[in-house]
Amino acid sequence: MLDLKRQYEPLHKELLAALEHVLQTQQFILGEQVASFEQAAAAQLRVKYTIGCSSGTDALWLALVAAGIRSGDSVITTPFSFFASVSSILRAGARPVLADIDPVTFNLDPKAVSNALDSPAASNAKAVLPVHLYGQCADWDAFSRIAAENGLKLIEDAAQAWGAKWKVQTAGSLGDAAAFSFYPTKNLSAAGDAGMVTTNDDQIAERARMLRQHGMRRRYHHDEVGWNTRLDGFQGAILEIKLKYIAGWNDARRAVAERYHLLFRKAGVIDSGPYPAKGIVLPHEVPGAHHVWHQYVIRSARRDALREFLTTRNIGSEIYYPVPLHMQTALKDLGYVEGDFPEAERAAREVLALPIFPELREDEQQTVVVAIAKFLS
Ligand SMILES: Cc1ncc(COP(=O)(O)O)c(C=O)c1O
């Protein structure tokens, strides 16, 4: 599914030298290396502020709380994402209100958000939290309109979308604030847990920076109850090096995705979609989006059998995500039931992520496509 060693091998000398430098400085938590990474990241994203923290999960919580979300508020988001998109809203003390997804992009559907805003649960809605799922930005024109008309904040879950764009703007610079994850499998990845908040807003930036260190502006003077969620020097050093390569890696992912499209077309197995019939539906880059292909996700009506078939041939695949969030045991108190979000539920039954990473070779892709064509025949 993913061979991280192919990225590590050509970089290992450079990475070891950077880690050695951190050891020489003995600045292990925040410090000069994290500040330097934060600056380089801000320049690359063309965003005013970047605040490194311990994980994408913490970045979501920091972004929400720093943007003023608190107990009694509602935040609208998607049921088809990683758990943290919803759990971070609960951790901020607010109520998650879910709205269904678009079956083509799997991203939050703006029309469903407009409908959800009319429900009593959303009477205290303060923000919308769209996720740029699989590396493709949510429809930011529509969400900007909805936010402006309803006086809502927009928080991006950009965990899977380093380098993605909506029109000319980068993911991370679109909303009031955004959260990135640098989990080791992400496009831009650390050697452990790490994350980052980005924003162009002076107050949100100042507050996020304070909240990541127990609400301290002055040492041992606590203005608010924050948390300990600091980025460490080793991760900062590794991430700053990888920043130099990420644009090339994302281009390579785009080439891999294009090659899958071509190979599947040649194999004659594509259904036009959005739902699969006898063949498979391919993922689709919509106008306005610059996709960075964190995942290449097909749809199949016989997804589980297809996955088993691939596994017996030693071909990796993964299901992001098998259970929509409204059907998770931990979230049953939200009061949703099966049938509430039919697009998310159908996607959870049909999606299958195929191997994709910058160094994936054409012969390996051929093997994947040939196996899928064989299964379908
Ligand atoms: C969409 C999404 N949101 C949030 C997160 C949370 O990030 P982390 O694992 O770094 O806490 C992830 C990553 O796993 C993610 O994919």
Out of 82, 87, 189, mutate this one to test ligand 1's pocket (max ligand atoms within 8 Å of CB): namely: 82
Instruction: Respond yes or no on whether the N-terminal peptide bond of residue 275 is cis (omega within 30° of 0).
Output: no
**Token pair 């996020």 in the structure block, residue:** 208
At residue 169, the pLDDT reads 98
pLDDT for the residue 363:
98
Cβ-based neighbours of 19, under 8 Å, separated by 6 or more: 234, 237, 238
How many whole angstroms from 116 Cα to the centroid of ligand 1? 24
Ranges of the chain whose pLDDT falls below 50: none
Ligand 1 is surrounded, with C-beta below 6 A, by 55-57, 60, 81-82, 84-85, 131, 157, 159-160, 181, 183, 193, 195
Cα(251)–Cα(122) distance, rounded to whole angstroms?
Answer: 40
| Residue nearest ligand 1's atom 10 by CA | 56
* pLDDT of the residue at 256: 98
In 134-220, the DSSP E strands lie at 153-157, 165-166, 169-170, 177-181, 195-199, 216-218
What per-residue confidence (pLDDT) applies to 328? 98
Half-sphere exposure of 171 (CA within 13 A, CB side): 29
Which of 53, 57, 239 to mutate for ligand 1's pocket (most ligand atoms within 8 Å of CB)? 57
pLDDT at 216: 97
Whose C-alpha lies nearest to ligand 1, atom 7?
56
CA atoms of 366 and 317, how far apart (whole Å): 15
User: In the prediction, which pLDDT does 321 show?
Assistant: 98
Q: Among 136, 181, 187, 321, which is best to mutate for testing ligand 1, by the most ligand atoms less than 8 A from CB?
A: 181
Q: In what order do the strands lie in the sheet with 95-98?
A: 49-53, 195-199, 177-181, 153-157, 125-129, 74-77, 95-98
Q: What is the pLDDT of residue 154?
A: 98
Atom of ligand 1 nearest to the CA of 85: 3
- Element holding 5 (H helix, E strand): helix 5-25
SS3 state of residue 184: coil
Query: Do you find a cis peptide bond into 322, omega within 30 degrees of 0?
Result: no
Separation between Cα atoms, residue 133 and residue 111, nearest integer Å: 17
Closest ligand 1 atom, residue 133 Cα: 1
Q: How many CB atoms lie within 10 A of CB 354?
A: 25
For ligand 1, pick from 83, 160, 292 the residue to mutate: most ligand atoms within 8 Å of CB. 160
Structure confidence at residue 112 (pLDDT)? 98
Separation of 185 CA from ligand 1 center, angstroms?
10
At residue 294, what is the residue type? H
Gap from CA of 159 to ligand 1 centroid (Å): 5
The upper half-sphere exposure of residue 375, i.e. CA atoms within 13 Å in the direction of its Cβ, equals: 24
Compute, in angstroms, the gap from residue 371 CA to the centroid of ligand 1: 30
How far apart are the CA of 146 and the centre of ligand 1, in A? 25
3-state secondary structure of 318: strand
